[in-house]
Amino acid sequence: MPVILTLWGDHETDEGQAIANMIQSMPLIVGLRLRVSSYHTLNLSTKFGSSVLVNPPIQQGSMLRQWAMENKTQINDLITQRAYLNRTSLLPQPTEDELCTIKEFLNLPMKKAYWIQGSPRFLDKSQRLWYNACSNCHKSFRAKPQWKIICTSCNKNVNILPRSRLTIELADYSGNLTLDLYDNDAQQLLPFTLPQIQELEGKHQLDYTAIEQAIESSILTCFVKKMTGNRGPADTEKYAAIIVHKANAAELISSTSRNSASSSTPSTNPLTAPESSNLTTSSTILNATA
């Protein structure tokens, strides 16, 4: 799966120019001590202390080049399809070994994102389920939808568009936390589309009971990080989901029960898991393509 690698500073002018000059030959790139960013999607970038090697004489080089040549058509197709922006492909449903409990998550370093799983509860039936935002960086604005502005955050000329937002409580056997969901992650839990919500809100007819029932019938597996700027009381920690995988609670429990009955070893509780492995990158080997 292709990912975006951004080179900053001297890496941009040095290794970046060298890569650009030979991009058609699919050069081998080794990145050391790269930053893994999970803002909106998953990508890599250099930071202070990073090293980038172009076509180094390493043992894995010939194997990776052979793999790249054999799969060149598929790789080019993925790039054409912009698969590097597809969050579901970049952050698929994790294995049980990658999950951590909510209690463990709350005690882990907050600079990274982690996978957790739990049951959602609808918080604050008076909450507004959308806001107006920059179409590029999603910064909140009070301007009317479809207005053209220069965003003060990303400095781009953009339209203001409505964006779904939902605040829930996520709980497992070990604890709970307050979690903000956005866009499709929020929309998949709601029984109404965003235009329907806006229309029903305007008529004061939005059925919050139906929303609550739809949300609380699910089990969510979320890739979560702490928010840098909390909305609400200062003593309330807020977290944002980078991606949410939804499962029907009744179906998941039924499936777990069937698996348990047919296996000699006890199945794992769907809301428990060992400590997650952190999403970090200390060394990355890549093939660059145009």
Characterize the bridge pairing of strands 35-37 and 114-122: unpaired
- Counting the structural domains of the chain, the total is 2
pLDDT in the model for residue 81: 86
Let me know whether 238 and 214 are in one domain: yes
Let me know whether 122 and 253 are in one domain: yes
Alpha helices in the chain (DSSP H): 10-13, 15-21, 61-70, 72-80, 87-90, 102-106, 183-187, 194-202, 208-215, 249-262
Let me know whether 70 and 133 are in one domain: no
CATH number, position 133: 2.40.50.140
Let me know whether 23 and 163 are in one domain: no
Let me know whether 234 and 200 are in one domain: yes
Let me know whether 29 and 105 are in one domain: no
| Residue scoring higher pLDDT (259 or 24) | 24
pLDDT, tens digit, 9 for 90 and up, residues 128-151: 999 999 888 888 888 777 778 888
**Where does the pLDDT of residue 105 fall: very low under 50, low under 70, confident under 90, or very high at 90 and above?**
very high
| Domain housing 211 | 100-262
The answer to whether position 267 is within a domain reads no
**Predicted confidence (pLDDT) at residue 275 exceeds the cutoff of 90:** no
**Where does the pLDDT of residue 256 fall: very low under 50, low under 70, confident under 90, or very high at 90 and above?**
low
The answer to whether position 274 is within a domain reads no
